[in-house]
Amino acid sequence: MNTIDLTPLYRSSIGFDRIGAMLDKALLSDHTTPTNPPYDIEIHDDNQYAIRLAVAGFDLSELVIQVEKSVLTVTGKKAEDKTERQYIYQGISNRAFECQFNLADHVEVTGAELHNGLLTIHLVKEIPEEMKPKSIAIHASDPAIDRKSTRTKVA
């Protein structure tokens, strides 16, 4: 396995300590395994996003959404079904799942809805006023030598 040297990133960046851990996790994960449940990540505009998960067969009471330390976790656990069923083919997954999404700084979950087997989680990035770009005024300083006062009168 190849390793990535993040030293140049750390030399020129401040506060991005999580990036190294996220890259390591992404490189170590097996990308050939299909995700369960399948999901889409949509961008609606510069600051609004949505995660849409296909949770066919799950009821509202069987789904949990939590955010802790900038990690969004969606968990689904089927209630025990006491009905005995016989299948010719079973293609609808009813096993428990847990999906995690790393959220960037200042990304907040604003709501969620379940409609037609799709769980949609709405996100918005709200940058605080103190973190938005601002212009800094540049003031001219007084000259170091005042030319008028250094001139002498010739008699």
Please report, for the domain that includes residue 45, its CATH number.
Answer: 2.60.40.790
Same domain, 25 and 39: no
pLDDT digits (tens, 9 = 90+) for 110-149: 999 999 999 999 999 988 888 778 888 888 887 666 666 5
Strands (E), the chain: 39-45, 48-54, 63-68, 71-76, 97-102, 107-115, 118-125
Per-residue pLDDT of the chain (155 residues; tens, 9 = 90+): 566 666 666 665 555 556 666 666 666 665 555 568 899 999 988 889 999 999 988 999 999 999 998 899 999 998 887 788 888 988 877 789 999 998 988 899 999 999 999 999 999 998 888 877 888 888 888 766 666 655 555 65
Q: Rounded distance, CA 92 to CA 15, Å?
A: 43
Amino acid at 109: V
Domain co-membership, 9 together with 82: no
Q: Domain total for the chain?
A: 2
Domain span including residue 67: 34-128
